[in-house]
Structure 1
Amino acid sequence: MKPPQIRLGADLLLDLQPRTLADALRGVAGVSTRPNSRGETTIRVRGAEERQSQVFLDGAPLAVPWDGRVDLGLIPAGLIGGIAITKGAVPIEYGANAVSGVVDLRTRGPGDAGVTGIAQTGTMGFAQAAFVTGIERNGLEVIAAASLLSRDAERVADPAALPFSQAASRRRTNSDFDGQSLFAAIGHEHGTTSLRASVLHIDAERGIAPESDRDPARAAPRYWRYPLFRMTQATLSGQIVPVDGAELRMTAWRQWFDQRIDAFRNVSYTALRSRQRDADVTSGVRATLAHDAGPLALRWSGQIQHSRHEQVDTPFPAAIPGPRLAYAQRLLSLGVEADAPLAEALRATFGLAYDRATTPLTGDKPRQPVADAPAFSAALAWTPGPGWSVTLSGGRRTRFASPRELFGEALGRFLINPDLRPERAWLGDLELNWQGDGVSLTLNPFIIRGTGTLSQRVVTVNGTALRQRFNLSGTLSTGLDATLTARPAKRLSVQLAASLLRARADADDALPFRRLVQRPGTEIALALDYLFPGDADLRAELRHIGGSVDLDAAGARIALPSATELNMQAAVPIVRLGAARLSLTFAADNLTDALILPQTGLPLAGRTLRLGIRID
């Protein structure tokens, strides 16, 4: 039994025509994806901090541990066969740091429906090509996938919103991107035993758009480029049934990550100020043993992960590399969950875990004490009648600060705070679900009480304004997620997803204002999908994002306006190629060129048009 969960299948991923994983998550109730000031597209579940939501690929965490985040804009959508988004007090087996939710990605297998090849071109030099193929013979499966994604620049929706570091052009300053990915997997299934090995490799270079609300003479924005971003993750997973009534699942992973960040002195991007070179290696393993014990169904889980980060900073024009600094973090989680039937229509789940974090290497920074915490959860599921289900769930989870939050200075932008404490959250959910004839409705009110939640403040040191992370005494978030799906006609389907959120810091934190930044109060997405005779498909999405607040360069409150965007996708079959079909595709992202400001000075891209072909 799980807390609130949303599943996206291969058919929906086909209709969405997503460029990356970030597009695939657009319009999901309670889920937001948006770029941050480093150009990374990250996920927020119910307005939680970026690092409080974890992303898994075939059972292995995908985030780079040094930072605690993964850039969803770099994950190719074509290799994903299914997505499960779990919100609230997620199952214990996901381990430490999964506070507000989990996005669990399953890569494609030979039996998955959906796109097997796509090529598109579009606005501002956009180009995409991707394919995935697989075979299955006598219990053996082999999958291969590759993708290319490129753009010259993102389109500016409203030039007036970017008063600094932006030319009089619709081409967003320093927003080019070139990326490639390769994926391969081989698996074998024999009786009750299965084994699968996979490798994902991503190689990219890109520019990071500067914060264009900032006057460079008073508060210099980031003039950064990433000439190198390379990540390789190898995963080995298996499942066996050692005895009747028992199942053992194991996943092991190893991740290699290399990155170079070039910081420039001004918007010309010609004079280097400094350079950071990162090299990371991460290894981990998780195991879950499920078995029956009388009326109980037990799941014992354990996870350990060790990561090492090496960094060299080089100032310019001296161009003399600094020392090679090494940092390390080790995470451990042990837990157990039990499912218990209480009555014919009533079931309960209870979970208990122990999480621990250590930092055996801290570079030139102060040593950190061992951090640990218990985690626990409970859920009660009731099925009062046909088509109805009610689930009440809750628990407590902990997130330990990532090494970058503890030790990273971001090329002189951040003032470190060695006294950061772990974030803790109490979570409560009530999910009401009704399934009717061609209609389904889910209502999910929730509450999140956070303690020690990390926030940012502006600290002036020797006349320079620096950001610094610090622990709030507490936060309270309440809200409602709702999803309605219906099929009012044979060829028409409708989906409505809505989220209401109120997120505030405690009054005793002495903040200039209590509202948590970059948390829209409302997010509503309406999607209409019509399948014409001959299987031509048209999908239209209307997405409204309510207003929010943010900090300006001096740390003062600034209002972010609400916005509404229109997205459209169409696919028209033109010829059959054996069992496959060749279709002409069209997509329009932000068709009305709306100004969407998830944070000050960094708007989302304006209108992007894409035209291409697809084989599926």
Structure 2
Amino acid sequence: MLQQIERHYAAPSAAGPPAASELCLDLEALRSNIEEWTSTHPQFSTAPLPPVQDCGAGRPPDVALHALRAWIYEAIRRNPSGPFLLGRIEVNVTAEMPPAPAGELLSAQQISRFGTVTAREVLAQTPGVTISTVGARNEGVIYIRGFDMRQTPVYLDGIPVSVPYDGYLDLSRLMIYDIAEAQVAKGYSSVAYGPNTLGGAVNLITRKPSKRLESDIKVNYGSGEAFGGFVGLGARLARFYFDAGAAGVGRSFFPLSANFSPSAVQPSGHRLNSSQRDAGGKLKIGFTPRQGYEYAFGYSRQESRKDQPPYAGSDPNVRIRYWKWPLWKNESFYHAGETLLGGAYLRARLYLDRFASRLDSFDDATYTSQRRSSSFISLQNDQSYGGSLEAGGMLAARHVLKTALLFKDDTHREGNLGEPRRSFRAQTASFGLEDTIKLTAGFWLAAGVGADYFDVRSAQNYQNGVISPFPVSGLWSIKPQLALTKRIAESTTSFVSLSRKSRLPTLKDRYSYRMGRSIPNPWLKPETADHLEVGIDHSFTSRNRLAAAGFYSRVRNLMQEFYLAPNVSQIQNLGRASHHGVEFSFRSSSIPRLFIELQYTFLNRRNISRPAIPLVQTPRHRGRLAASMRVGRGILLASETQLEDGRWVLNEGGRYVRTGGFLRSDLSASVALKQGASLQAGIQNLTDRNYFLDEGYPEPGRSFFVGLSWRF
């Protein structure tokens, strides 16, 4: 943000230097944004913000600019660590570019406030985001305005982390101990995200050390013999820095609500077959030869195992799965770098990801024999390599141009134990161009276009003991977008955006037999969605902020199951749907020591193609109330309440079921101890509510946790 203003001031284009009044408006907006942001991040409030009201009238803009720069640098110096800026895909606020429409940014303090250790629960703090559970696979997922994770890809430091074969990711496997920031784009998103952003995108950004030497140690223990631990060490030495960390989490079971009604296979008390373990480590090494130049190399590895809790519902048509995943492994190598070229920048990323998993299906609840035809051992391996190149800068006095090029090569190998291995390979390329034009002071136009190409290079069919080739093909998708942002007043910004987004069919969409229940369809087309959105962001004072947005999305070529015969289906581009709704968010810190956040989302999804069939996994009404209060020196109390009115789900028996609504509350407290230590404790699901996100798969009842952390 600050660098953009400095470039604009110090290196104007051939059109001439900007007027002092224009720069003063930019500086006032910058100060307002900093003031609002620090109201929710009090650790950065090292001193009062310098005034800019007299900018241009008795004080030139450069004086105010230097004062703000000094304040920002001092705040950064005092903060123990910050986000890894090379991991960001889009910057939310700059002098020339306003916040991305409907974009959300979660800070490290919001991420760690309630003792959560996985990404799914963290992202639930965002308006428009619904968490869910794929009960039959024991996976934690999210929906953004009704779009699932194949339509809203997840990135880690700007690098895609979804499993290539099916486009999904179990967010319960993503540990967030070292996450410093989370970006959530909804509907309209930067072309720099690349393909498959039909409904938005999520980017999780790791931390970057800022002190000469810093260390974090965290341990926690909770109900269900749950445990967690993290050790992190970082250092910044002249032009070099490194950050290393190791983490492990797990549990033996999770407690059910006392109000849960036992079933034939699930007694009360502890959830059967619900244990899980995750362990991993990361290393990042960076080099900053001079200001504006940065190059980093990273490596991460995680190994996990998890069990599949059995179906505990009442539908006799659901076949109970006795499954275990003894192995889920991910290994990643990456490079990220940024170079300044005059007033422009060039950012590059390269990566190699490897996934491996094993699924064991057993005969019964003893989990010891595999004699039945329904039992198997499935082995899968995925590998992805690719990269992205992004460039941007001031093209003219009022233009900020950004262009991005992405490439990805995916290989998937699968087969049950004792069968020949099958191989699939696909390549994806994406190009995007954005121009943000400052029409007048406080009025911006952003226009962009993206193009995606998906090419299946090879796909193998296995039938009757013989491997043969599937038909392969390539397809294109074009994605134009437009956004207007107007600063109505110093404290009020409005926007309207139009965009077309798409999702390319995955290898699984095209070629999977779905355990013998489906016929492959190699000729699937991309799903497309046209988004219209209007919104406003208003600060009543520096400590009270209101944001609201209304949106409408029209989806075409939706991939849906079409039954060719009883129990035999095929994925086809038959669906048309609409998603429309409103989002509301209010934040206030006007009462000393108290911060309050209120959110509400209304989402109405219609199945236009088949009106009698509901669209699943999202509630129509969802609310959230969070509050935190400092009571005494070093004591912070926090509470969070989530409310929804229920949702339609499709169970494994092919029946549509509506789950009940629920209200869930969490409480936590943290106490600052001596020498950088702090103690945290909390209660999750305070009222022991018995609720379901997927029919037949109950969520945890009341549980407790306690944690201890040290920061050196």
TM-score when normalising by structure 2: 0.80
Query: What is the CA distance between 1:417 and its match in structure 2?
Result: 4.2
Aligned equivalents of 2:488 and 2:330: distance in 1?
48
Residue of structure 2 equivalent to 1:213: 313
**In the alignment, which of 589, 612, 623 is matched to residue 487 of structure 1?**
589
Aligned equivalents of 1:467 and 1:176: distance in 2?
34
Please list, as runs of the form range in 1=range in 2, the aligned pairs for 1:414-563 lying within 5 A after superposition: 416-437=520-541, 438-456=543-561, 465=567, 469-506=571-608, 509-510=609-610, 513-563=612-662
1:298 aligns with 2:401: yes
CA contact (8 A) 2:459 2:471 kept: yes
Aligned equivalents of 2:242 and 2:331: distance in 1?
19
CA contact (8 A) 1:212 1:602 kept: yes
Residue of structure 2 equivalent to 1:237: 336
Aligned equivalents of 2:511 and 2:191: distance in 1?
28
Query: What is the CA distance between 1:357 and its match in structure 2?
Result: 0.6
Note closer, same or farther for the CA distance 1:264–1:584 as it changes in structure 2 (3 Å cut). same
**In the alignment, which of 258, 261, 286 is matched to residue 359 of structure 2?**
261
Aligned equivalents of 2:422 and 2:531: distance in 1?
38
Letter aligned with residue 451 of structure 2: Y
Residue of structure 2 equivalent to 1:323: 420
Which stretch of structure 1 is more off in the superposition, 403-412 or 340-349? 403-412
Which stretch of structure 1 is more off in the superposition, 18-27 or 77-86? 18-27
SS in 2 for 1:406: helix
CA contact (8 A) 1:162 1:601 kept: no
Aligned equivalents of 1:123 and 1:163: distance in 2?
23
1:25 aligns with 2:123: yes
Residue of structure 1 equivalent to 2:239: 139
Note closer, same or farther for the CA distance 1:111–1:483 as it changes in structure 2 (3 Å cut). farther
Residue of structure 1 equivalent to 2:465: none
Query: What is the CA distance between 1:162 and its match in structure 2?
Result: 5.9
CA contact (8 A) 2:498 2:532 kept: yes
Aligned equivalents of 2:118 and 2:318: distance in 1?
33
Residue of structure 1 equivalent to 2:107: 9
1:530-570 residue CA offsets vs partner (Å, 9 max, x unmatched):
11111111101110022121224443332211011011121
Letter aligned with residue 443 of structure 1: A
CA contact (8 A) 2:491 2:539 kept: yes
Letter aligned with residue 603 of structure 1: P
Query: What is the CA distance between 1:254 and its match in structure 2?
Result: 0.6
Note closer, same or farther for the CA distance 1:593–1:414 as it changes in structure 2 (3 Å cut). farther
Note closer, same or farther for the CA distance 1:23–1:116 as it changes in structure 2 (3 Å cut). farther
Query: What is the CA distance between 1:96 and its match in structure 2?
Result: 0.6
Aligned equivalents of 1:174 and 1:409: distance in 2?
28
Letter aligned with residue 171 of structure 1: H
**In the alignment, which of 272, 280, 287 is matched to residue 382 of structure 2?**
280
Aligned equivalents of 1:349 and 1:584: distance in 2?
46
Letter aligned with residue 207 of structure 1: D
**In the alignment, which of 343, 353, 363 is matched to residue 440 of structure 2?**
343
Query: What is the CA distance between 1:411 and its match in structure 2?
Result: 4.3
**In the alignment, which of 289, 297, 311 is matched to residue 190 of structure 1?**
289
Letter aligned with residue 270 of structure 1: T
Residue of structure 1 equivalent to 2:224: 124
Residue of structure 1 equivalent to 2:35: none
1:51-71 residue CA offsets vs partner (Å, 9 max, x unmatched):
111111111111111121222
Letter aligned with residue 153 of structure 2: Q
SS in 2 for 1:16: coil
SS in 2 for 1:22: helix
1:402 aligns with 2:497: no
SS in 2 for 1:63: coil
Which stretch of structure 1 is more off in the superposition, 357-366 or 80-89? 357-366
Aligned equivalents of 1:198 and 1:410: distance in 2?
36
Aligned equivalents of 1:15 and 1:371: distance in 2?
44
TM-score when normalising by structure 1: 0.92
Q: Unpaired segments of 5 or more residues in structure 1?
A: 315-320
**In the alignment, which of 214, 223, 229 is matched to residue 322 of structure 2?**
223
Residue of structure 2 equivalent to 1:318: none
Aligned equivalents of 1:111 and 1:220: distance in 2?
53
CA contact (8 A) 2:348 2:387 kept: yes
Note closer, same or farther for the CA distance 1:114–1:418 as it changes in structure 2 (3 Å cut). farther
Letter aligned with residue 313 of structure 1: N
1:113-168 residue CA offsets vs partner (Å, 9 max, x unmatched):
999221111111111111222110112111011111110112222675563532x2
1:390 aligns with 2:491: no
CA contact (8 A) 2:150 2:168 kept: yes
CA contact (8 A) 2:260 2:268 kept: no
Residue of structure 1 equivalent to 2:74: none
SS in 2 for 1:483: strand
Letter aligned with residue 110 of structure 1: P
Note closer, same or farther for the CA distance 1:541–1:239 as it changes in structure 2 (3 Å cut). same
1:368-414 residue CA offsets vs partner (Å, 9 max, x unmatched):
32121101111101001110001111211110121122223454565
**In the alignment, which of 593, 598, 613 is matched to residue 708 of structure 2?**
613
SS in 1 for 2:697: coil
Letter aligned with residue 300 of structure 2: L
CA contact (8 A) 1:164 1:213 kept: no
SS in 2 for 1:421: coil
SS in 2 for 1:311: strand
Which stretch of structure 1 is more off in the superposition, 275-284 or 356-365? 356-365
Letter aligned with residue 200 of structure 1: S
Bigger Rg over Cα: 2
Letter aligned with residue 232 of structure 2: V
Residue of structure 1 equivalent to 2:686: 591
Identity of aligned residues (%): 22
1:292-349 residue CA offsets vs partner (Å, 9 max, x unmatched):
32232211111010010111213xxxxxx11110011211101211111212221101
Note closer, same or farther for the CA distance 1:215–1:223 as it changes in structure 2 (3 Å cut). farther
CA contact (8 A) 1:92 1:337 kept: yes
How many residues get paired?
597
Note closer, same or farther for the CA distance 1:466–1:124 as it changes in structure 2 (3 Å cut). farther
Residue of structure 1 equivalent to 2:27: none
